[in-house]
């Protein structure tokens, strides 16, 4: 069974930093692109960032470019999101989500999600 478990959320002041983690199990971690998707409580989903199976391709939504960095660790089967220069508008539940298709697949949709970790940016 695929499992994605996020951690690292919490309360941080504006301008501060936080590192989110997503521990993966139940699938061959090295074969799949994984993403961060956030949701402001009571609002919609927003794609934040994604990283390809081999870390060769990384993407970010414009609002976080230059502030957030996505990375992955094959040995630990974990995905990370380093968030710097945090702003109140970054307050959200951050989900880790896995692409359905592996590195050889043209599929581009999310078939598994974690339960999310809450980030609150406030003074």
* Interactions with other proteins, residue window 79-108 (CB under 8 A): 95, 97, 100, 106-108
Query: Considering only residues 114, 117, 119, 121, which one is a binding residue for other proteins as defined by CB under 8 A?
Result: 114
Of 8, 47, 69, 118, the one binding other proteins (CB under 8 A) is: 47
> Which position has the token pair 């402001």?
40
Q: Which is nearer to other proteins, 12 or 36 (CB)?
A: 36
Task: Concatenate the DSSP letters of all residues of 12-65 into one string.
Answer: E-TT--EEEEEEEESS-GGGEEEEEEEE-TTS-EEEEEEE-TTSS-EEE-GGGT
Cα–Cα dist 107/52, whole Å: 13
Binding residues (CB under 8 A) for other proteins: these are 33, 35, 37, 43-47, 50-52, 57-59, 61-62, 95, 97, 100, 106-111, 113-116
């Amino acid at each position: 069974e695929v499992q994605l478990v996020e951690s690292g959320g919490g309360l941080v002041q504006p301008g501060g930093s936080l590192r989110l983690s997503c521990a993966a199990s139940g699938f061959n971690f090295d074969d799949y692109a994984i993403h961060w998707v956030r949701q402001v409580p009571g609002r919609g989903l927003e794609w934040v960032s994604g990283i390809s199976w081999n870390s060769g391709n990384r993407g970010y939504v414009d609002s976080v470019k230059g502030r957030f960095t996505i990375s992955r660790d094959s040995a630990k089967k974990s995905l990370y999101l380093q968030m710097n220069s945090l702003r109140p508008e970054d307050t959200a539940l951050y989900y880790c989500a896995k692409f359905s298709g592996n590195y050889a697949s043209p599929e581009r949709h999310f078939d598994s999600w974690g339960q999310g970790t809450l980030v609150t940016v406030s003074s």
